[in-house]
Amino acid sequence: MSKFIRIDKDNNPKKAVLLNLDLVASVELSPQSDLLSSADEKRVYISCLAHDKTVIATVHFDTVEDAQAWVEKNLGVQL
Mean confidence (pLDDT) of the chain = 85
**50 confidence band (pLDDT: 50, 70, 90):** very high
Query: What is the mean pLDDT of the segment spanning 63-71?
Result: 92
Query: What is the mean pLDDT of the segment spanning 32-38?
Result: 60
Query: What is the mean pLDDT of the segment spanning 48-58?
Result: 92
Comparison of pLDDT for 29 and 42, the residue scoring more: 29
Measure the CA–CA gap between 4 and 17, rounded to whole angstroms: 10
Query: What is the mean pLDDT of the segment spanning 13-33?
Result: 87
DSSP-assigned letter for residue 50: -
Strands across the sheet containing 44-49: 26-31, 44-49, 55-61
